[in-house]
Amino acid sequence: AGSASVAVAAAMLRTEAAMGFPDRLDASLAWDESSAAERLARLGPSGRREYRAMYVSPLGDMALPLCYAPALAALCWRSFSRRPLALLPLLAGACDLLENASVLRLLDTFPRLEQAPLALAVGPWATFGKWAGLALTFALLAAH
């Protein structure tokens, strides 16, 4: 799972570099409806198609949390005597999947983002949950 995470992340970085994605929603710490609309508009139609493809390709962003979350959970399970800490990366991965689904929904409804109220409500919190969960996981592992 760890090697798969690296392979998926590398494939995503190649796609991002080739398309020159500015300010991906999922790479930011926070976003809202207005910043999502602005960022998606900047991509243009072909950029939005490529952004969507980055999520759903076999080595895309939907695959990444399915790789890193179990790998980090296994590492936490082996590293900590308090086994519930192993749930933290799984929570981060679940938030990542919710975030991805939200961004895909926004891409599908653009420019009428108001047609995706659930994505607009859940997506920003899922982004925060992903980054908070990953930061806490890595901080705990580094301190161990």
For 101-131, give the DSSP string. Answer: HHHHHHHHHTT-GGG-HHHHHHHHHHHHHHH
> How much is the average pLDDT of 84-105?
97
Q: What is the pLDDT of residue 57?
A: 87
Q: What are the tens digits of pLDDT across the range 21-73?
A: 657 888 899 999 999 999 999 999 998 999 999 899 888 889 999 999 999 99
Q: What are the tens digits of pLDDT across the range 95-107?
A: 999 999 999 999 9
Residue 8 has pLDDT above 90, yes or no: no
The chain-wide mean pLDDT, for the chain, equals 89
